[in-house]
Amino acid sequence: MKERLKQVLPVLGIVCGAVLLAAAFLLDESIPKELSGALFGVAGVLMGLGATGIFMDAAWRKLSEDERREAERGEKDERNVAIREKAAYSSWYWTLYLLWAAFFVTLFLGSGFPTALVSVLLVLHCVFLMVNMGRWAKRM
């Protein structure tokens, strides 16, 4: 079941993305500009994720059994896990700084909704860190 899902979801993502892209093109003049942009953006994300899933699956199938075992071992290797954790922690700080910069830009521009939205994103960003820290603390 899980293997079948890995094959179906990327194709479903591409199909849904293509439908949204077609809808964005067909409804271009009859819907607000913001909604059109959102349709194009979501379509691009879905199609990109779907194509990436298909390409990753194809690359995985080309590996020999020994190469697959080695890749799985490398995923669980303590050194690689530590590197990924350090990279994730560093990227968390960089995205936090970017969100603060966006917050101050929206404050200076005097825009109400974008400032509120960025404030919510800042809070969620920090909440996700706390949730993940608690989750990983239980695992270790």
Main-chain phi, psi angles of 77, to 5 degrees: -60, 135
Tens-digit pLDDT profile for residues 94-130: 888 888 888 888 888 777 777 788 888 888 888 888 8
Per-residue pLDDT at 33: 79
Mean of per-residue pLDDT scores for the chain: 83
Q: What is the spatial distance between Cα 61 and Cα 71, in angstroms, rounded to a whole number?
A: 12
Looking at per-residue pLDDT, the higher value among 50 and 37 belongs to: 50
Rg (CA), the chain: 20
Residue 35 DSSP code: H
Q: Average pLDDT of 24-49? A: 85
DSSP, residue by residue, 74-106: HHH-HHHHHHHHHHHHHHHHHHHHHHHHHHHHH
Per-residue pLDDT at 16: 92
Q: Quickly state the pLDDT bin for 39 (edges 50, 70, 90).
A: confident
Q: What is the spatial distance between Cα 111 and Cα 99, in angstroms, rounded to a whole number?
A: 15
Provide the sign of the torsion angle of the four alpha carbons 42, 47, 53, 56, taken in this order. Answer: negative
Any alpha helices (H) in the chain, and if so which ranges?
2-26, 33-62, 65-76, 78-109, 112-139
Provide the sign of the torsion angle of the four alpha carbons 51, 52, 56, 59, taken in this order. Answer: positive
Looking at per-residue pLDDT, the higher value among 89 and 48 belongs to: 48
Question: pTM to 2 decimals?
Answer: 0.58
